[in-house]
Chains A and B, each alone.
Chain A
Amino acid sequence: MFEKVLVANRGEIAVRVIKACQKLGVKTVAVYSDADREALHVQMADESYHIGPPPVAQSYLNMDKIVEVALGAGVQAIHPGYGLLAENATFARKCREKGLIFIGPKPEAMEAMGFKVKARQIMKEAGVPIVPGNVEGIRDLERARALAQDIGYPVMVKASAGGGGIGMQIARDERELEQAFKICEARAKAYFGDPSLYLEKYIEEPRHIEIQVLADNEGYTVHLNERECSVQRRHQKVIEEAPSTFVDPDMRRRMGAAAVRSAQAIGYNNAGTVEFLVDPDKNFYFLEMNTRIQVEHPVTEMITGVDLVEWQLRIASGELLTLQQEEIGIDGHAIESRIYAEDPDKKFMPSPGKITRWQVPQMEGFRADVGVYEGYTVSPYYDPLLAKFVTWGETRDEAIDRMVLALESTVVEGIKTNIPFHLKALKSRLFREGRTTTNFIDQLKEE
C-alpha cells in the first residue's frame, strides 16, 4: 500500500477519499484554491497545499501545479475523485511520466471511451448491445425507409454532421419518416452544409441504469450490480438507488456480463461504471463508460458491503482483486439523495452563502458523505453538491422511510437546499411504485 496519497479534488469526494486513506493508514495531502482555505478536506488531510485562485482552470485543473505539489510532498499516488481531472488522459500520462500512480484506469482505456463513435464500434465488436442505428450517411428517402424498417419505429432522424439535438426529428411511422426526412435534410444542409442523415432507434421513457465494475491491473474484472439513476434534472442526477426496481435477476446477470465485457474490451483497470439506456421492454443499450469513481457509488457499497474507494487504492497499489463474482450479492436496498445548495422555490437557482446551522442526524442505516460544516461559506465557484444522504433498508420501502426521516430531521439554515424537493419526490406515489424513468421530475409535477 502507498504511504502517502494526494487528493486532487475538493468537497465531499475529497473527504470520502481521505477517509478511505485513513482507514488504510495512508497519509493524505490536500490541495486547495483561495476559495477553499476553510474547506473540510483541507482540515482533514495530514498536509495541505495552496494551488491557485478560485477558478478551477487556475487551481484544481492546473495539472503541472498539482504534479509539482505531489512530487514536493513525496506522495506515490494521486486520487482524482470525480469530475475535474478524473477522466483526463493527459493528466494520467503526466502522472505516469513523473513516476506517480494515477488512481484510476490507464490513459489508453480512458481515451478508448472518450470518443463516442469509437466506443460504439468497440462495444459492437465485443458483443455489447448498442442503440440500434446506422452510422453511414443517408441521402435518399428510399434507403431511409428500408433502414427504418430494419431498426423498427419509432426512429430518431439525425444530421450526420450535427450535434446537440439540432435537426433531430422523431418518426413514429413511414408517413412521419417522410416528413422528418425532408425537415432534417433541409436543416442539415442549412446548418452543417451537409445534407447526410442517419437513423437511430428512439427509446421512449428510457431508464438510466448503470453497472459498477472493478478490475485489477491483470484484467480480472467483476461487476457489483446495478444502480438506477433515472431521476435527473438538467441531466444532473438527483436520486439514485440500488438495486433497480426494474431489473430482474436474469437481466442483472446479462447486464453485468455485458459491463464486464465492455471493460475487458478496452483493457480497463480500477473502478468504472458502464451506463445503459433501458427501454420499457427491458432491452438495454450501451450508452457510455465512466472511467472514474462515481458520485453515487455509496448505494453500491451499502448493498454489497464492498468499499469501492478502498479497492481503488488497493488496485492502484498493485494488489490483485480478491472478490469472486458469485460472492457479490445484494443485501437489502439503498437510496441516495444528493443535497444541493439550490432554492426549490426559485427554479432551483444556486444558493451559495454561509451555512449558519447544519444539523444532520445520526441513525441506523443512514450514511452522510458531507463536504461542509456549520459556519462554512459555500462558494459560488464550484458545483452545488453539499452532501449525499444514503439510507439502507431490508426493503425498498424501509430505505425510503429512513430517508424521509433523515431529511425531516435535518436542519440547514443560512442557505437554501433541495431537501424539500427530495421529500416531495420520496413521498410521491410515482417513486413508491418505482416508476422512475428519466421523465420522473416532469411527471411528479403533474401528480
Chain B
Amino acid sequence: MAEVACPMAGVVAEVKVQPGDTIEPGQELLILESMKMMIPFQAESNGVVREVKVNVGDFVNEGDVVIVLE
C-alpha cells in the first residue's frame, strides 16, 4: 500500500480518479487551486486507487495524504 502526498497547500478544484481506477505515471490525479493558479497533480508510479481522501473544495496542506494506492 502506498500513500500519495500533496505537493503544496491549496484547495482541491477537481478529483480525477476514483477507487478502483488503475493509474500510471504522469496521469492527472487531481487539480489543486493555489494562489489563483490551477495546478495538475500527477501520479509518479503505477497503482490502483484504494481510497481518495479529499473532496472538491477541501483545503489541503503540503504533505497531506490525498490518495491511498493498493
Measured CA separation A341–B33 after assembly (Å): 15
Is A332 positioned at the interface, with any CB of B under 8 Å from its CB? Answer: no
B36, A351: Cβ atoms under 8 Å?
no
Say how far B66's CB is from chain A's closest CB, in angstroms: 14
Measured CA separation A350–B34 after assembly (Å): 7
B11, A352: Cβ atoms under 8 Å?
no
Measured CA separation A382–B34 after assembly (Å): 8
Q: Which of B37-52 contact A (CB under 8 A)?
A: 37, 39
Residues of chain A lying within 8 A (CB to CB) of residue B9: 352-353, 380
Measured CA separation A72–B70 after assembly (Å): 56
A349, B36: Cβ atoms under 8 Å?
no
Interface centre among B8, B34, B35, B37 (most CB of A within 10 A): B35
Interface 0/1 of B5-32, CB less than 8 Å to A: 0001111000000000000000000000
A349, B8: Cβ atoms under 8 Å?
yes
Q: Which of A369-420 contact B (CB under 8 A)?
A: 380-384
- Sorting the interface of chain B by its residue count into under 10, 10 to 19, 20 to 34 or 35 or more gives 10 to 19
B62, A341: Cβ atoms under 8 Å?
no
Secondary structure dominating the interface of B: strand
Partner of B35 from the list A54, A55, A380 (CB cut-off 8 Å) is A380
A350, B8: Cβ atoms under 8 Å?
yes
Secondary structure dominating the interface of A: loop
Count of A-B residue pairs with CB < 8 Å:
35
Measured CA separation A350–B11 after assembly (Å): 13
Could you jot down 30 A-B contacts, CB within 8 Å? A54-B59, A55-B11, A341-B35, A349-B8, A349-B37, A349-B39, A350-B8, A350-B10, A350-B34, A350-B35, A350-B37, A350-B39, A352-B8, A352-B9, A352-B34, A352-B35, A353-B9, A380-B8, A380-B9, A380-B10, A380-B33, A380-B34, A380-B35, A381-B11, A381-B35, A382-B35, A382-B36, A383-B35, A383-B36, A384-B36
Say how far A328's CB is from chain B's closest CB, in angstroms: 35
A residues contacting B by CB (< 8 A) are 54-55, 341, 349-353, 380-384
- Contact A351:B11 (CB < 8 A) given known A380-B34, A382-B35, A382-B36: no
B residues contacting A by CB (< 8 A) are 8-11, 33-37, 39, 59, 62
Measured CA separation A382–B37 after assembly (Å): 10
Residue of B nearest to A384 (CB): B35
Measured CA separation A128–B36 after assembly (Å): 34
Partner of A353 from the list B11, B37, B59, B62 (CB cut-off 8 Å) is B62
Say how far A354's CB is from chain B's closest CB, in angstroms: 10
Q: Beyond A380-B11, A382-B35: 17 further Cβ-contacts under 8 Å?
A: A55-B11, A349-B8, A349-B37, A349-B39, A350-B8, A350-B10, A350-B35, A350-B37, A352-B8, A352-B9, A352-B34, A352-B35, A380-B9, A380-B35, A381-B11, A382-B36, A383-B35
Residue of A nearest to B39 (CB): A349
Measured CA separation A350–B33 after assembly (Å): 10
Say how far A235's CB is from chain B's closest CB, in angstroms: 12
Residues of chain B lying within 8 A (CB to CB) of residue A353: 9, 62
Say how far B62's CB is from chain A's closest CB, in angstroms: 7
Residues of chain A lying within 8 A (CB to CB) of residue B33: 380
Residues of chain A lying within 8 A (CB to CB) of residue B34: 350, 352, 380
Residues of chain B lying within 8 A (CB to CB) of residue A54: 59
Residues of chain B lying within 8 A (CB to CB) of residue A383: 35-36
Residues of chain A lying within 8 A (CB to CB) of residue B10: 350, 352, 380
Residue of B nearest to A83 (CB): B36
Residues of chain B lying within 8 A (CB to CB) of residue A381: 11, 35
Say how far B49's CB is from chain A's closest CB, in angstroms: 24
Residues of chain A lying within 8 A (CB to CB) of residue B59: 54
Residue of A nearest to B62 (CB): A353
Measured CA separation A381–B59 after assembly (Å): 10
Say how far B28's CB is from chain A's closest CB, in angstroms: 15
Say how far A38's CB is from chain B's closest CB, in angstroms: 15
Interface centre among B33, B34, B59 (most CB of A within 10 A): B34
Say how far A350's CB is from chain B's closest CB, in angstroms: 4
Say how far B11's CB is from chain A's closest CB, in angstroms: 7
Residue of B nearest to A349 (CB): B39
Measured CA separation A55–B13 after assembly (Å): 13
Residue of B nearest to A377 (CB): B9
